[in-house]
Amino acid sequence: MSKRNMSKRNSRREFLKTAAAGATAALFPLPALAQGAGGRVVIVGGGFAGATCARALRTLDRRISVTLVEVNPTFTSCPFSNTVIAGLREITTQQFNYQKLTADGVVTASAAAGIDPQARTVALADGNRIPYERLVLAPGIDIRWDGLPGYNEAAADLMPHAWKAGEQTLLLRRQLEAMEDGGLVVISAPANPFRCPPGPYERASLIAYYLKTRKPRSKLIILDAKDAFSKQRLFQNAWKELYPDRLEWVSLSGGGKVTSVEPATKTFVTDFGRHTAAVANVIPPQKAGRIAEVAGVTDRTGWCPVDPVTFESKQQQNIHVIGDAAIMGAMPKSAFAANAQAKVCAAALAKLLAGQKPEEPRLINTCYSLVAPDYGISVAGVYRPKDGMLVDVENAGGVSPIDAPHATREQEAIFANGWFKTITGELFG
């Protein structure tokens, strides 16, 4: 071996040693991470918010270098995962890779383990560090494991949450498939705020559809920590029509709030009694993805307060938070909303990096829910910044008509499918 090669090998060995030491990890000098003339943005989380932001930044200004830090090589989508649980589609239709983003010049890396807001660096799990001028955190949610007595990571094997799509989705589906006809399904829904406000009720509807068609002697109960929920009248009217005597909703004031669970027997405990299920789906309290806490951008609610124009954290300069992890005022935690926020954030970042003032945005959200495969309902809203929050623009949104004919519901189910294809196609297609 030549002297030059030997010294190269030695220095690589030294670098690996330093990286393994963790605490002394050096800045990661990948050529692809070289400072773009337009600035350097690192995005943590390649879901609906983070992947959209990365793509939008590439489109806005190719001089900005964009690094996407995503822990999983495959993204599994929560939207439409309720149809997987109900056996209406396969999990593979929910899964996407990052090839398109990589081809578009976005550099992807592994898991973010730490953030240093003063030094403006992201520490990766492999010990390397990436510098940023502006950091976007889009880590989605984590389960608040201390939020419901009796519920922990081991309990989730027996009483799946299926609120992060993937193995948990399949586990709940398999439990339903294995259940005897006549078994009771119980879903517990948390208090606000949480990911996808209509999600528990869509799930209940599609499981009721599964029971109606496959296990006709079975029933489902939703135990709720709330007295009201998204698209409530639409759901309840549809349940009366499609699933009479099969689906029961127990409100907070009706004794629905679950105070603890007993996983060994799949029992939900409320102040009013106990419900033992054959299949138990606990949708637990949630918080911003853990890396947000590590970065110091969460407040005592566990979520991240942000400026509604730039989505910059109210707690740490140069760190922006988008998607489910952020507190967005009236705007719900949805993939549609995450996508809209990401585009607005990207536009704001391009302006900020160019030393200009971002414009005040208007954002739109639409959430479709399937009550049956051919029965869709929706809610839409428009939002604007006011007093440091996003508020509803009056008379600019609303829900599907209450007394619509079946053809309208069928049409909305088609729109729901169309929306899902469009948003996933835009990001990963």
For ligand FAD, the closer of residues 46 and 358 by Cβ is 46
Stretch of 33-41, 65-73, 95-103, 185-193 lying at the interface with ligand FAD (CB under 6 A): 65-73
**Residue 138 in the binding site for ligand FAD (CB under 6 A):** yes
- To ligand FAD, the closest distance from the beta carbon of 364 in angstroms equals 12
Place of tokens 């609120």: 163
Place of tokens 């964009």: 66
- Per the CB < 8 A criterion, the answer to whether 234 and 377 are in contact is yes
Stretch of 68-76, 88-96, 390-398, 401-409 lying at the interface with ligand FAD (CB under 6 A): 68-76
Query: Across the beta sheet with 121-124, what order do the strands follow?
Result: 112-116, 121-124, 129-131
Please report, for residues 8, 95, 171, the alpha-carbon distance to residue 78 in angstroms, rounded to integers and kept in the order given.
Answer: 46, 10, 14
For ligand FAD, the closer of residues 61 and 324 by Cβ is 324
Distance CA 174, CA 281 (A): 12
**Residue 266 in the binding site for ligand FAD (CB under 6 A):** no
Interface with ligand FAD (CB under 6 A), residue from 25, 41, 42, 49: 49
Stretch of 40-48, 126-134, 216-224, 298-306 lying at the interface with ligand FAD (CB under 6 A): 40-48
- Show the tokens assigned to 330: 């009236």
Who's near 201: CB < 8 A, 6+ residues apart? Answer: 189, 222, 229, 230, 231, 232, 235, 369
- To ligand FAD, the closest distance from the beta carbon of 123 in angstroms equals 10
Taking phi first (over 0 means left), then psi (-120 to 50 degrees means alpha), and beta for anything else, what does residue 289 get?
beta
Residue closest to 136 by CA, chosen among 289, 30, 24: 289
- Show the tokens assigned to 389: 């929050």
**Residue 376 in the binding site for ligand FAD (CB under 6 A):** no
Interface with ligand FAD (CB under 6 A), residue from 127, 139, 190, 302: 139
**Residue 132 in the binding site for ligand FAD (CB under 6 A):** no
**Residue 75 in the binding site for ligand FAD (CB under 6 A):** yes
Place of tokens 């829910």: 369
- To ligand FAD, the closest distance from the beta carbon of 356 in angstroms equals 26
The interface with ligand FAD within residues 179-198 (CB under 6 A) comprises 195-196
**Residue 335 in the binding site for ligand FAD (CB under 6 A):** yes
Interface with ligand FAD (CB under 6 A), residue from 39, 46, 305, 376: 46
Q: What is the DSSP letter of 322?
A: -
Bridge partners (DSSP) of residue 65 are: 40
The residues binding ligand FAD (CB under 6 A) are 44-50, 69-72, 75, 78-79, 81-82, 111-112, 138-140, 163, 195-196, 199, 203, 289, 291, 323-325, 333-336, 338, 367-368
